[in-house]
Amino acid sequence: QAANIGVVGLAVMGSNLARNLASREGNTVAVFNRTHAKTEELVAEHPEAGFVSTASYEEFAAALQKPRTAIIMVKAGGPTDAVIDALVEVFEPGDIIVDGGNSLFTDTIRREKAVRETGINYVGMGVSGGEEGALLGPSLMPGGSDESWITLGPILRSIAAIAEGEPCVTHVGHDGAGHFVKMVHNGIEYADMQLIAEAYDLIRRGTGKSPAEIAEVFAEWNKGELESYLIEITAEVLRQVDAATGQPLVDVILDQAGAKGTGAWTVQTALSLGTPVSGIAEATFARSLSSHPEQREISRDLPGPTEGFTAQDPDAFIEQVRLALYASKIVAYSQGFDEIRAGAAEYDWNIDLGKIAAIWRGGCIIRARFLNRITDAYSETPDLPVLLTAPFFVDVFTRAQDAWREIVATSAKVGIPAPAFSSSLAYYDGLRAERLPAALIQGQRDFFGAHTYKRIDKPGTFHTLWSGDRTEIEAEDTH
């Protein structure tokens, strides 16, 4: 029996995506895994799926209807290259290879170019939602050619999460656009998680509430404007009691956060694009800091505030933390969308930013009620240069900024680290500033490197003869 779609790589993500595909009307799914025992295991465990089991790339290609469509779900990097090379050998022009792994978008650009030369279509696709999303409905961010979208679109729409009646998938843009957007999605996820963690830490230290009590605070927040998957699972994690010790689980988990690299990619890419994603960067670095026990150990006795900290009015304090979290979260998303905008300009992708917010409403880890507001903001002003200046967000800042400042000031004063809260506020105030001390930096650059400067009062490029008589001359622009 010919299959209309195939999956290569049957670890947790691939198996679940294959089962999701198989559960949709009209699909027959061919499956292949380098280690064949895993293929046999999956097929045996899920007879209802009607999988077509294949033991070699040749068998896999032969099992697929033409034009063939295959989704690769293997480890990013070398393994993905190995599978692509093998598929290119057995596929034909017009066939479609989709990489659903967490590939770096520049790898996807390179692979798309190489595979396109064989006449085969190549699509790099971001998949979000973890294993559960893959099985029940992920958020999908495919790049690649318009031609491949014609075939892929209906299949992807059938397996994606549904949010407010709409499947969470869109053709993001050409070549690496899908993986780029997925990368930024993960960066925003880092920032969101860090902000939530800072909120928890402040509440715990400021009010003395137990994790279970703080779980109730988050559960309550999840009924309002902060409603999101991450807030929801935070309550679940905080509620969990460790069976072995009877302690809150969060108190027995080692306080070192791991990372698989997509946060770092988001920051590295932002650095080369010149886009300040400070919230995402702080979140990534906060994980790094946590994971250096030797540095933390030796630093424990550094001087800090001597007074303990107790919020005078716990309920009012918790409300301030909530507002600070909301404001900082808007900054993180705004920075992320700024990076997507900059990436689209750099790589010549036509990305509909409002649509990206819409496909993140379901399936993915950062799904949240307020994504609708981002879609609204971009529908009203598609080329909005800074997302957080949309009227809805301005209203939030109007309400939240006093509390936000109070929380950042308190955290600094009492010595509770809140890097994401405070860097978000600094970014916000940096954007607001009528004049920045960048003028001084430009003066310093001109002093030691003759890097020149522009003037506020006339056009042209200037240099002061610092080591001479300190007069100003017109200069070549060497910015």
Helix (H) or strand (E) segment spanning residue 442:
helix 438-449
How far is it, in rounded angstroms, from Cα 289 to Cα 473? 47
Q: Record the tokens describing residue 78, joined without a space.
A: 């070398």
Catalytic-residue membership of 189:
yes
For ligand NDP, the closer CB: 279 or 363:
363
Q: Record the tokens describing residue 35, joined without a space.
A: 């280690």
DSSP 458: S
Tell me, what amino acid is at 211?
P
On whether the CB atoms of residues 283 and 193 are closer than 8 A, the answer is yes
Q: Record the tokens describing residue 318, joined without a space.
A: 């918790």
Q: How far is the CB of 103 from ligand NDP (least distance, A)?
A: 7
Chain position whose Cβ is nearest to ligand NDP: 101
Pick from 282, 284, 258, 280: nearest CA to 270: 280
For ligand NDP, the closer CB: 125 or 199:
125
Spatial neighbors of 195 by CB under 8 A, at least 6 apart, are: 279, 283, 325, 328, 329, 332, 420, 421, 424
Helix (H) or strand (E) segment spanning residue 188:
helix 177-207
66: exposed, middle or buried (Cβ count in 10 Å: 0-12, 13-18, 19+):
exposed
For ligand NDP, the closer CB: 9 or 206:
9
Q: How far is the CB of 189 from ligand NDP (least distance, A)?
A: 11
Catalytic residue among 58, 113, 189, 294: 189
For ligand NDP, the closer CB: 35 or 247:
35
Q: How far is the CB of 67 from ligand NDP (least distance, A)?
A: 23
How far is it, in rounded angstroms, from Cα 429 to Cα 418? 17
List residues near ligand NDP by CB under 6 A: 9-14, 33-35, 38, 73-76, 79, 82-83, 101-102, 127, 130-131
How far is it, in rounded angstroms, from Cα 333 to Cα 319? 21
For ligand NDP, the closer CB: 76 or 390:
76
Catalytic residue among 112, 182, 209, 339: 182
Pick from 283, 102, 111: nearest CA to 187: 283
For ligand NDP, the closer CB: 12 or 473:
12
Phi then psi for 456, rounded to 5 degrees? Answer: -80, -15
Q: How far is the CB of 72 from ligand NDP (least distance, A)?
A: 8
Q: How far is the CB of 131 from ligand NDP (least distance, A)?
A: 6
On whether the CB atoms of residues 160 and 138 are closer than 8 A, the answer is yes
How far is it, in rounded angstroms, from Cα 31 to Cα 52? 6
- Kind of pairing, strands 166-167 and 162-163? antiparallel
Q: How far is the CB of 292 from ligand NDP (least distance, A)?
A: 25
Q: How far is the CB of 114 from ligand NDP (least distance, A)?
A: 17
Q: Record the tokens describing residue 346, joined without a space.
A: 């750099």
CA angle 410, 414, 419 (to 5 degrees): 65
For ligand NDP, the closer CB: 82 or 409:
82
Q: How far is the CB of 353 from ligand NDP (least distance, A)?
A: 22
Q: How far is the CB of 11 from ligand NDP (least distance, A)?
A: 3
For ligand NDP, the closer CB: 132 or 236:
132
User: String of b and e for 340-365 (b: at least 16 CB within 10 Å)?
Assistant: bbbbbeebebebbbbbbbbbbbbbbb
Catalytic-residue membership of 209:
no
For 247-280, the DSSP string reads SBHHHHS-S-----SHHHHHHHHHHHHT---HHH
For ligand NDP, the closer CB: 99 or 282:
99
Q: Which residues are catalytic?
A: 182, 189
